[in-house]
């Protein structure tokens, strides 16, 4: 789809406006310094802010708006109209949230008089049910994973651990050797916003993790003649596997197993949370295990399986049967 905001229509902007635009760049840089050093946001979150502000900056450039305070309500409506030509509601909501945060920063720095996006409501996001694998599908996938070669042992350990502990891909690929407590069957992981949490590992996952580290990982690293690395899961070059590398591994097995549904990394995390709740885990416990700052985020998993909710009602309500 053509992205109108990124059209290069600004070749004739006056030179004196260029200096003003460089001031805009400085304000954006100051904002990112604030997010990085004072808010301690993760690199992924910073990248999202960067994409959003680049869209906004290019729109200002296109419309010859050279002052943050010069953006009136009509201009914002035109900006939104332009956004809806190229972006979905979710992306626009995130962008508007980024701009509200940006303007709050400008007001604190006395670089803006008001927040023009404060009164702009985010577009309503279409309700989308979270996809999961049922317990049988997860078991079938994990049981079919081969684990003879060193890379197969790595893959088996990665997927078993991801489902066993509900890890995000970023948490999995950044796991280090000293993050594993074999005596207590616990791992330490760093989640969104660099928040640390401790999560348990099931016996099956710890078995395959130990087998991989003992029999495969050392060979994967040492044969490349590289310096030792502290990350658990390595690629063919003997260095940390990337998120993209993990995605390729997953898609390889999806193709080999001829699965009937699209398999993506977060599907295992969704399935983990849902299965925990279905088996009676407390919502607050699952919230802690997932590393959610708000329980409302965890509550989305209670809306997935209506049959489970119905069965739980009839099982636990004291007066659901006739007297």
Answer yes or no: do 103 and 223 share one domain.
no
Residue 122 in any domain: the answer is no
Answer yes or no: do 155 and 294 share one domain.
yes
Write the CB contacts of 162 (distance below 8 Å, at least 6 apart in sequence).
169, 172, 265, 268, 269
Answer yes or no: do 170 and 70 share one domain.
no
Predicted local distance difference test score (pLDDT) of residue 278? 87
The domain in which residue 92 lies consists of 4-108
Answer yes or no: do 13 and 155 share one domain.
no
Write down which residue in 43, 73, 108 finishes a domain.
108
Answer yes or no: do 148 and 229 share one domain.
yes
Any idea which residues carry the catalytic annotation? 168, 192, 266, 269, 292, 301
Residue 123 in any domain: the answer is no
CB of 271 closer than 8 Å to CB of 132: yes
Measured CA to CA, the distance from residue 232 to residue 176 in angstroms comes to 5
Predicted local distance difference test score (pLDDT) of residue 119? 83
Predicted local distance difference test score (pLDDT) of residue 171? 95
pLDDT tops 60 at residue 181 = yes
Answer yes or no: do 155 and 217 share one domain.
yes
Residue 307 in any domain: the answer is yes
CATH code, domain with 154? 1.10.443.10
Which pLDDT tens digit goes with each residue over 56-101? 988 888 888 777 776 788 888 889 888 988 888 888 999 999 999 9
Report helix, strand or coil for 164. helix
pLDDT tops 60 at residue 15 = no
pLDDT tops 50 at residue 7 = no
Answer yes or no: do 160 and 275 share one domain.
yes
Residue 159 in any domain: the answer is yes
Residue 226 in any domain: the answer is yes
Residue 121 in any domain: the answer is no
Residue 234 in any domain: the answer is yes
CA torsion 232-238-241-245 (nearest 10°) is -150
Answer yes or no: do 100 and 248 share one domain.
no
Measured CA to CA, the distance from residue 244 to residue 64 in angstroms comes to 38
Residue 130 in any domain: the answer is no
Total count of domains within the chain: 2
Which pLDDT tens digit goes with each residue over 207-259? 999 999 999 998 887 554 455 689 999 999 899 999 999 999 999 999 999 98
Q: Return the closest-CA partner of residue 59 out of 105, 3, 128, 114.
A: 3
Answer yes or no: do 34 and 162 share one domain.
no
Provide DSSP, 237-282: TSSBPPHHHHHHHHHHHHHHTT-SS---THHHHHHHHHHHHHTT--
Answer yes or no: do 95 and 139 share one domain.
no
Which pLDDT tens digit goes with each residue over 309-319? 666 667 766 66
* Lowest-confidence segment of 104-113, 170-179, 197-206 by average pLDDT: 104-113
Write the CB contacts of 308 (distance below 8 Å, at least 6 apart in sequence).
277, 278
pTM tops 0.85, yes or no = no
Answer yes or no: do 304 and 159 share one domain.
yes
Answer yes or no: do 177 and 43 share one domain.
no
CATH code, domain with 72? 1.10.150
């Amino acid at each position: 789809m053509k992205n109108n905001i990124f059209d290069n229509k600004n070749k004739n902007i006056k030179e004196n406006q260029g200096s003003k635009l460089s001031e805009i760049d400085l304000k954006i840089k100051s904002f990112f310094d604030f997010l990085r050093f004072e808010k301690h946001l993760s690199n992924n979150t910073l990248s999202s802010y960067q994409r959003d502000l680049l869209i906004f900056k290019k729109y200002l450039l296109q419309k010859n708006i050279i002052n943050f305070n010069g953006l009136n309500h009509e201009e914002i409506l035109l900006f939104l109209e332009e956004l809806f030509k190229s972006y979905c509601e979710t992306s626009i909501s995130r962008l508007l949230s980024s701009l509200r945060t940006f303007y709050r920063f400008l007001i604190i720095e006395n670089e803006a008089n008001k927040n023009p996006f404060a009164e702009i409501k985010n577009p309503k996001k279409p309700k989308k049910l979270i996809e999961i694998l049922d317990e049988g599908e997860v078991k079938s996938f994990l049981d079919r994973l081969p684990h003879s070669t060193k890379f197969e042992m790595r893959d088996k350990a990665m997927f078993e651990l991801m489902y066993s502990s509900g890890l995000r891909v970023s948490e999995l690929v950044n796991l280090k050797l000293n993050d594993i407590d074999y005596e207590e069957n616990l791992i330490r992981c760093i989640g969104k916003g660099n928040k640390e949490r401790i999560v348990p590992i099931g016996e099956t996952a710890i078995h395959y993790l130990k087998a991989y580290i003992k029999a495969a990982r050392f060979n994967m690293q040492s044969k490349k003649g590289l310096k030792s690395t502290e990350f658990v899961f390595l690629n063919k070059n003997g260095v940390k596997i990337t998120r993209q590398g993990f995605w390729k591994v997953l898609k390889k097995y999806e193709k080999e197993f001829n699965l009937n549904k699209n398999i993506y990394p977060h599907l295992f995390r969704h399935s983990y949370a849902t299965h925990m709740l279905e088996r009676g885990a407390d919502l607050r416990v699952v919230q802690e295990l997932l590393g959610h700052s708000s329980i409302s985020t965890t509550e989305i998993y209670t809306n997935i399986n209506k049959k489970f909710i119905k069965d739980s009602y009839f099982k636990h309500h004291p007066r659901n049967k006739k007297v």
